[in-house]
Structure 1
Amino acid sequence: MSAPEHEIEEEGSAGYERVVAFSDGVFAIAITLLVLGLDVPDLPESRAPDELAGALRDLGPQVASYFIGFAVIGAFWLGHHRFFEQLRRFDSTLLLLNLAFLAFISLMPFTTGVFGRYGEVEAAVILYAANVVAASGFDTAMLWIALRRELLPPAALAHPGLMLLSNVLPALVFLCSIPVAFVDPGIAPYVWIALFVVSPLLVRTISRRVEADG
């Protein structure tokens, strides 16, 4: 079932380009704000030679959270970029879903900062994981709407199930890390590594099998 024609913005139109530019702007600001969560050690000059190295070591969890946040937002941006690169038109439903998705992207500098400062507290880990799950959920919802309303080119509609699976994997990985955080918050981030190691391998394996069966 297609959306009404008056709701559709075609690729290349002013409305379409504004959505893409606005989305890229949100991503750029969010990924820049991550570094502002890193606190420069404030030491008297007389103590800096002896204490700066230790103070920098103490920043280790915040630096680690910065790179985790950068990788997650970067992965979302790459997926969003590929999606809009394929998208030929969008309607008002997709526009609203994109706004909701960007709301959770813009929240990530805050949740990343909380995780960096209180990474051993289960509430901080769960907050960050829930943020990623919510963003991934709206990201997948955009893809589902685009597939259902045929807003993508025919070539992109060949294997919709595989596309949805690759989109929903981040949500599943971070969702699985939430019960782990209740047991040991320190272990949960290692579960997230699966997002960058196991997930691409799984999608690639399923893709090859689908192509072979086809």
Structure 2
Amino acid sequence: MSRATVDARRYERESIEFARTFAFLDAVYAIALTLLVVNIDPPPASDWANVATLFDSGLGWQLLGFGISFAVIAVFWRANHRIVAGFSAITPAVITANLVAIAFVVLIPFSTQGISDAETADQPLAVSVYAVNISAAVFAQAAVFFIARRDGVLRDPLPRRADTVKFVDTLTTPAIFLASIPIAYVFGADWARYSWLLLIVIGPLSGRWAERRIARIRASAESHPAGSASD
């Protein structure tokens, strides 16, 4: 049986309000993933003669944009899942922060159209809009975590220094995407998109650095519990 909420500003994890909130958020992520397929225009029948003509119709760009954005939204959903798994409850402020975050996520199918349409894929503005969209979504999702910490709904909060390390690791994605904007205007949209591949290398390296650093911080906090609260 669900426990009653502690007050009007906090819904416990076992409450129906908590379950409804994140069932709704999961549904929105699923819809955003599904909407990506709308950007794929079926080629005319004449282009189905062979693979070369099929991809020359612009389908290649559209499938590439679909693949990139599908992976991006899936990563956002997984990150949201990890954050929510650490909640003991939810507050109106956390709900609002999540709504802001998914607002940027549901924009991804729109910005994907710019980088996947053959007529706009080479435009620096298309790359810029996509990069800003992804970066804004990253910052908004990070805000969800910090608002949850402020509201005291994290089940096992790390020392604040560890949260800072995690945030620095999170900055890897927007740093690369935002850096691709000047690259798009100076060297072209293709080079800007190639720069996104840096995430394949830098992302794991940054993640491993963050894991090692957080492990040291946690070990230090456990050995000096009196000073951990202020870290």
Q: TM-score, normalised by structure 1?
A: 0.88
Q: Which residue of 2 aligns with 1:20?
A: 22
Percent identity, please.
32
Deviation at 1:36, TM superposition (A): 2.0
Q: Which residue of 2 aligns with 1:161?
A: 164
Structure 1 or 2, whichever has the larger Rg, is: 2
Secondary structure at the aligned position of 1:161 is classed as helix
1:40 alignment partner, one of 39, 42, 67: 42
Contact 1:173 1:191 in 2 (8 A): yes
1:179 aligns with 2:186: no
Deviation at 1:212, TM superposition (A): 4.0
Mark the CA change 1:97 to 1:187 in structure 2 (over 3 Å): closer, same or farther.
Answer: same
Contact 2:123 2:189 in 1 (8 A): yes
Tell me how far apart the structure 2 counterparts of residues 138 and 48 of structure 1 sit (CA, whole Å).
42
Secondary structure at the aligned position of 2:44 is classed as coil
Mark the CA change 1:55 to 1:48 in structure 2 (over 3 Å): closer, same or farther.
Answer: closer
Tell me how far apart the structure 2 counterparts of residues 206 and 67 of structure 1 sit (CA, whole Å).
27
1:202 aligns with 2:206: yes
Contact 1:115 1:124 in 2 (8 A): yes
Tell me how far apart the structure 1 counterparts of residues 100 and 209 of structure 2 sit (CA, whole Å).
31
Deviation at 1:52, TM superposition (A): 6.0
Q: CA RMSD, aligned part only?
A: 2.0
Contact 1:10 1:88 in 2 (8 A): yes
Mark the CA change 1:139 to 1:66 in structure 2 (over 3 Å): closer, same or farther.
Answer: same
Q: Name the amino acid aligned to 2:62.
A: Q
Mark the CA change 1:187 to 1:160 in structure 2 (over 3 Å): closer, same or farther.
Answer: same
Q: Name the amino acid aligned to 2:132.
A: A
Contact 1:144 1:164 in 2 (8 A): no
> Can you give the 5+ residue segments of structure 2 that lack an aligned partner in the other structure?
1-5, 221-231
- 1:29-61 Cα distance to aligned partner (Å, 9 max, x none): 1101112211111125xx743x66413343111
- 1:4-47 Cα distance to aligned partner (Å, 9 max, x none): 94211111211111111111111111101112211111125xx7
Secondary structure at the aligned position of 2:196 is classed as helix
1:147 alignment partner, one of 119, 127, 149: 149
Contact 2:172 2:202 in 1 (8 A): no
1:54 aligns with 2:78: no
**Number of residue equivalences:** 207
Q: Which residue of 2 aligns with 1:80?
A: 80
Q: Which residue of 1 aligns with 2:225?
A: none
Contact 1:115 1:128 in 2 (8 A): yes
Secondary structure at the aligned position of 1:59 is classed as helix
1:127 alignment partner, one of 109, 116, 129: 129
- 1:82-136 Cα distance to aligned partner (Å, 9 max, x none): 1111111121111111111111111111111121012210111101111111111
Deviation at 1:147, TM superposition (A): 2.4
Tell me how far apart the structure 2 counterparts of residues 196 and 11 of structure 1 sit (CA, whole Å).
35
Query: Does 1 or 2 have the higher relative contact order (CA < 8 Å, sep 6+)?
Result: 1
Q: Which residue of 1 aligns with 2:3?
A: none
Mark the CA change 1:43 to 1:115 in structure 2 (over 3 Å): closer, same or farther.
Answer: same
Q: TM-score, normalised by structure 2?
A: 0.82
